[in-house]
Amino acid sequence: MALYGGIEAGGTKIVCAVGTDPSNFLAETRFPTAAPGEVIPRMIAFFEEQTRLHGALSGLGIAAFGPVDPDRNSPTYGYVTTTPKPGWARTDFAGAVQRALRVPVGFDTDVNVAALGEGRWGAAQGLDDFMYLTVGTGVGGGVVTNGKLLHGLMHPEAGHIRPQHDWQRDPYPGHCPYHGDCLDGMVSGPAIQERVGVRGNELGEEHPVWDLVADYLGQGCATYVVTLCPRRIIIGGGVMEHTFLYQRVRERTAHYLNGYIQVREILHDIDQFIVPPGLGNRSGVLGAFALAELTAQAAGTA
Ligand code: ZN
């Protein structure tokens, strides 16, 4: 049986795992996201040990915080590119792992890889067109279209669209260092905390900030519907652990679309259209297995 490695490199923690699918995890380790000179050797040591225990990996998938270069024809393929994270800018992440372990390595953004996982085993099984949005430390979106991850110019940075900002109701200027009040700047965990002065998980469901968050996310989802035509939008991430938000986001999405998109999914089944991840908080690491599998198939090692 083919065995896969997965790395989910998030802004705060890194998860490394070995297995085949959600029901077969052989090993997992996690540690904080320190400088690459410290954590990349740690990842490599983990996979070397697992290879000794369980045999060779057929492939390995990396889900990385971005921006990254996922273009296989680019000289900087596999790099983390412009991140402000100390030490990580212009780091050849996939190359370092590939050279050490000598297995086919797939590399993409954390949200694109999470989308792959949701398509393979989670809430988007059977769909060729869908979106995975995370709302946590930041806001990011991975997009599958015609059965493939959307790349093009780079990769989607769907958290950085510009919702209409109601300055009267919400004088907060926004948290994004590039755009201020883009969607990421208005609804990410740090934006909520900076706006109200305490962490979101200390706020009750009746706190007015949640209506603002739901409204901006509704604007975002309405924008994705009319531009990307997803058949489902999966929303994960720490902020969405406030599960009352799902219903409010659905309502605001329908409000902003205002009857213009005459499809059953929006008009009658929006509860099945905007949904939580089927894989819980495992979409990223399982998506890395799915990416490893695709990469192994392409390399002929599966
Ligand atoms: Zn932004």
200-212: pLDDT as tens digits? 999 999 999 999 9
HSE (side-chain half, CA atoms, 13 Å) at 42? 19
Query: If pLDDT is split at 50, 70 and 90, which confidence band does 144 have?
Result: very high
End-to-end CA distance of the chain: 9
Q: At which residue do the structure tokens 């995890």 appear?
A: 25
- Taking the centre of ligand 1 as the mean of its atom positions, its distance from the CA of residue 26, in whole angstroms, is 38
Length of the chain equals 302
- Taking the centre of ligand 1 as the mean of its atom positions, its distance from the CA of residue 159, in whole angstroms, is 7
Pair type for strands 24-32 and 148-149 = unpaired
Q: What are phi and psi of 124, to 5 degrees?
A: -120, 20
Query: If pLDDT is split at 50, 70 and 90, which confidence band does 18 have?
Result: very high
- Taking the centre of ligand 1 as the mean of its atom positions, its distance from the CA of residue 90, in whole angstroms, is 20
Distance of alpha carbon 63 from alpha carbon 113, whole angstroms: 6
User: What's the pLDDT at 221?
Assistant: 98
Dihedral of CA atoms 39, 40, 42, 47 in degrees, nearest 10, equals 140
Domains 4-110+281-299 and 123-276 share a fold: yes
- Adjacent-strand bridge partners of 8: 15, 63
Name the superfamily (CATH) of residues 123-276: ATPase, nucleotide binding domain (3.30.420.40)
Q: What is the pLDDT of residues 73-110, one digit of tens each?
A: 999 999 999 887 889 999 999 999 999 999 999 999 99
What average pLDDT score do residues 173-189 get?
96
What average pLDDT score do residues 41-58 get?
97
Q: Which fold has domain 4-110+281-299?
A: Nucleotidyltransferase; domain 5 (3.30.420)
- Taking the centre of ligand 1 as the mean of its atom positions, its distance from the CA of residue 301, in whole angstroms, is 39
CA-closest candidate to residue 144, choices 161, 159, 124, 122: 124
- Taking the centre of ligand 1 as the mean of its atom positions, its distance from the CA of residue 59, in whole angstroms, is 34
Give helix then strand counts, H and E, for the chain. Answer: 10, 12
Q: Does the structure show a pLDDT above 90 at 154?
A: no
Q: At which residue do the structure tokens 């402000």 appear?
A: 84
Distance of alpha carbon 237 from alpha carbon 251, whole angstroms: 20
Query: If pLDDT is split at 50, 70 and 90, which confidence band does 283 have?
Result: very high
Q: At which residue do the structure tokens 């109701």 appear?
A: 169
User: What's the pLDDT at 37?
Assistant: 95
- Taking the centre of ligand 1 as the mean of its atom positions, its distance from the CA of residue 295, in whole angstroms, is 31
CA-closest candidate to residue 65, choices 122, 106, 20, 7: 7
- Taking the centre of ligand 1 as the mean of its atom positions, its distance from the CA of residue 8, in whole angstroms, is 23
How large is the angle between the packed helices 36-54 and 93-101, nearest 10 degrees? Answer: 30
User: What's the pLDDT at 86?
Assistant: 86
- Taking the centre of ligand 1 as the mean of its atom positions, its distance from the CA of residue 204, in whole angstroms, is 27
Which two tokens mark 189? 């965990």
Where are the chain's structural domains? 4-110+281-299, 123-276
- Taking the centre of ligand 1 as the mean of its atom positions, its distance from the CA of residue 213, in whole angstroms, is 15
Which two tokens mark 34? 């320190």
- Taking the centre of ligand 1 as the mean of its atom positions, its distance from the CA of residue 7, in whole angstroms, is 26
- Taking the centre of ligand 1 as the mean of its atom positions, its distance from the CA of residue 263, in whole angstroms, is 31
Q: What are phi and psi of 90, to 5 degrees?
A: 55, 45
- Taking the centre of ligand 1 as the mean of its atom positions, its distance from the CA of residue 158, in whole angstroms, is 9
User: What's the pLDDT at 66?
Assistant: 80
Which two tokens mark 75? 């000289």
Express as a percent the part of the chain with pLDDT over 70.
Answer: 100
Residues near 242 by beta carbon (within 8 Å), at least 6 away in sequence: 200, 201, 205, 210
Question: Which letter does DSSP use for residue 12 in this model?
Answer: S
